[in-house]
């Protein structure tokens, strides 16, 4: 397997000097505005390519995208990784739609990102709100405690999933491993917004990643902390308790049919960088 399969496929396509009788309309930069050419450079515009056979299809990956996503899944210890080019908002929407069914109850912290509200609406899900702890001395929102989660699941045994935001916006991680054990003991999914934690798990100086802690799925903003371009994210999924076909359909539903290859290529590059230097970067 290649080290950066998608980037290498894009480079090979560019070096074939294809005359683009296909989208995008700027035709490899030939028809682009001069200021845009100056801003991006020739190679970026030549690499702004479309869904050609040599470059694979994000909705049914069989080639370079599949290889790149497989490497990312292996890096984080997941069964499946999905590349996301609509930010972690799109990833969270797909995660909720793929893991749950309309009418399902989900335990949600009150300080969740607005994307979670969008996913609840799109999925027809019933949120059971739970306030995380608050530290008066620091005037800071803390995390959901395992005891809170367990009590909520005992109170309402119809809850199908627990949603965590960890790390939160103050950089505080939840006891994800303990919460995962509580969830799975009761047959409940653990879904994690790990937007600010794609660097976790690469150094013992930092907490474990959500997948290392036993989460069923984790949404990661690869653009926020590590080396991908803005709006690039990853969804890591374990298929032990989530149906693979349902998740595939959900992610396809919320993903554009015209994904930007520069963005996807940057995800491939960020994954490679983490695989080579993740520990040093984290420290």
Q: Domain-by-domain residue ranges, the chain?
A: 1-55, 58-282
Q: Is 61 exposed, middle or buried (0-12, 13-18, 19+ CB in 10 A)?
A: middle
Q: For residues 210 and 241, give the distance between their C-alpha atoms in angstroms, rounded to a whole number.
A: 15
CB 217 within 8 A of CB 99: yes
Angle at 215 between CA 213 and CA 218, to 5 degrees: 115
Q: For residues 137 and 140, give the distance between their C-alpha atoms in angstroms, rounded to a whole number.
A: 8
Q: What is the pTM of this model?
A: 0.95
pLDDT of residue 52: 81
Which residues are CB-neighbours of 270 under 8 A, at least 6 positions away?
Answer: 222, 226, 227, 228, 232
C-alpha closest to that of 62 among 248, 221, 272, 237:
248
Q: Is the peptide bond before 32 cis (omega within 30 degrees of 0)?
A: no
C-alpha closest to that of 166 among 158, 175, 157:
175
Residues of the chain with pLDDT under 70: 1-2
Beta pairing class for 80-84 and 233-237: antiparallel
The CATH number given to 58-282 is 3.40.640.10
Tokens of 255: 């993903």
Q: For residues 27 and 182, give the distance between their C-alpha atoms in angstroms, rounded to a whole number.
A: 54
CA dist 16 → 10, 20, 45, 67, 221 (Å): 10, 11, 15, 21, 33
pLDDT of residue 51: 76
CB 64 within 8 A of CB 9: yes
């Amino acid at each position: 397997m290649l080290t950066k399969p998608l980037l290498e496929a894009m480079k090979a396509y560019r070096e074939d000097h294809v005359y683009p009788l296909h989208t995008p309309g700027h035709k490899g930069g030939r028809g682009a505005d001069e200021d845009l050419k100056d801003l991006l450079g020739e190679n970026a515009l030549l690499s702004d390519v479309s869904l050609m056979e040599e470059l694979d299809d994000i909705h049914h990956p069989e080639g370079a995208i599949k290889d790149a996503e497989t490497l990312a899944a292996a890096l984080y210890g997941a069964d499946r990784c999905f590349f996301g080019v609509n930010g972690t908002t799109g990833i969270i929407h797909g995660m909720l739609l793929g893991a749950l069914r309309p009418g399902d109850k989900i335990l949600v912290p009150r300080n969740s990102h607005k994307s979670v509200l969008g996913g609840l609406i799109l999925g027809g899900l019933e949120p059971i709100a739970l306030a995380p702890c608050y530290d008066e001395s620091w005037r800071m929102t803390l995390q959901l405690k395992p005891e809170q989660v367990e009590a909520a699941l005992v109170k309402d045994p119809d809850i199908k999933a627990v949603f965590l935001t960890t790390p939160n916006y103050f950089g505080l991680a939840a006891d994800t491993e303990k919460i995962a054990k509580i969830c799975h003991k009761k047959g409940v999914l653990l879904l994690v917004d790990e937007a600010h934690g794609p660097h976790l798990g690469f150094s013992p100086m930092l907490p474990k990643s959500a997948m290392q802690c036993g989460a069923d799925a984790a949404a990661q903003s690869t653009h926020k902390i590590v080396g991908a371009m803005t709006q690039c994210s990853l969804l890591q999924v374990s298929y032990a308790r989530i149906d693979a076909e349902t998740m595939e359909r959900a992610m396809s539903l919320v993903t554009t049919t015209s994904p930007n290859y520069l963005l996807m290529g940057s995800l491939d590059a960020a994954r490679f960088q983490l695989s080579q230097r993740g520990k040093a970067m984290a420290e």
